[in-house]
Structure 1
């Protein structure tokens, strides 16, 4: 079941600060995943919920509190 407004509480400025601290760009995530930069940008902004992007951010160490993850990814993160 989809939670209404998933991603609306995402903190794009915090995600960007995190990426900056890792000397990474959203373009780097896009390249690693083989997807468009737009897909990464829209996910970071909370307009989309691309699971590959969200999982990559978690895998790189981005704090989950910044991401407003969908329920299915929260369950994977807890496992």
Structure 2
């Protein structure tokens, strides 16, 4: 079974942020997290819930995020 996040489309997420006039450093600053953690989450190496929730709130398409079930469930609740 493939790990969740491995199918995350990092380049599309970066393009989405760029379209908003943002970069991953802006996300890190807005959330009070390290740029490294945000970068690893966008690449799919980590699944930080704050980062994923924030990207969803910004309107990033979920199909690009390859969300873990725990994050998907919070949206439904």
Q: TM-score, normalised by structure 1?
A: 0.91
1:78 to partner: Cα distance = 3.0
* Residue 31 of structure 2 corresponds to residue 33 of structure 1: yes
Q: What's the counterpart of residue 15 of structure 2?
A: 17
- Deviation string 1:45-71 (CA, Å, 9 cap, x unpaired) is 000001100001001110000000000
Match of 1:45 among 43, 46, 50: 43
Matched residue of 1:23: which SS?
coil
Q: Which residue of 1 aligns with 2:53?
A: 55
Q: Which runs of 4+ in 1 moved over 6 A?
A: none
Q: Structure 1 residue 74 and structure 2 residue 63: aligned?
A: no
**Unpaired runs of 5+ in structure 2?**
none
